[in-house]
Amino acid sequence: MGVVSDFLKALKVTARIMVGTMTGSELVTTPYPDEKRVKPQRFHGRHVLNRYPDGMEKCIGCELCAGVCPADCIYVRGKENDPHNPISPGERYGYVYEINMLRCIFCGLCVEACPTEAITMTHLFEFSTTNRADAVYTREELLMDREGRVPHMFPDDPLVDLSELDTADGWVRATAPSGIAAYEGVKMWQGTPGPADWSPEPTQEEIDRRSEDG
């Protein structure tokens, strides 16, 4: 009897959703791509290689991101800096940097492992491809330019909101010591050029006030 009762309850839910969807009173989906949901600050999207505000590359070619990746989708090869024309502040820089997006599980471990905050994750997730080669993002597609603009493999894709590439600081916040009260509202990381200013998260008082203001 219990199984029959549960089955009838399930049918009731299904019927309610079907009727609500047909009449428009209970929509369970959004009209994508015309309407997109707001992504949380620490959303796991497409990766970006960052620069310091002065234009120097943050990646030092240490390969820690590749070593920690559980999907084995990152390949890095470092190269020694020219002392007279260095690419990064370290002894080396990421001469080769590739991420196979077909293998990536977007776990964010590469961001946590990076000692220089060189790799972070943006809010962009719409980058489907029609061939496997386009799914391998190289240094050319990942590295922001000196003005802070992040390149995209398909800049003319009408479904892609390129502004989502500007939000690349979410996982920096997540890996910073923001859980300690003494660091609340304090910027504990290096910034980048361009629109991604990487401001610190608001204090709890500010969050509560915004909630009250509606």
- What pLDDT score does 17 carry? 76
Distance (Å, rounded) from C-alpha 176 to C-alpha 174? 6
Going by DSSP bridges, is the β-strand pair 74-80/119-121 parallel, antiparallel, or unpaired?
unpaired
Residue 173's pLDDT band (cuts 50, 70, 90): low
pTM score, whole prediction: 0.77
Residues with Cβ within 8 Å of 93's Cβ and at least 6 positions away in sequence, in order, are: 57, 59, 60, 61, 78, 79, 81, 86, 87
- What pLDDT score does 208 carry? 79
Tell me which of 177 and 166 has the higher pLDDT: 166
Instruction: Check if the beta carbon of residue 30 is closer than 8 Å to that of residue 86.
Output: no
Residue identified by tokens 């009250």 is 212
Does residue 179 carry a pLDDT above 60?
Answer: no
Residue identified by tokens 């390149």 is 151
Distance (Å, rounded) from C-alpha 73 to C-alpha 184? 34
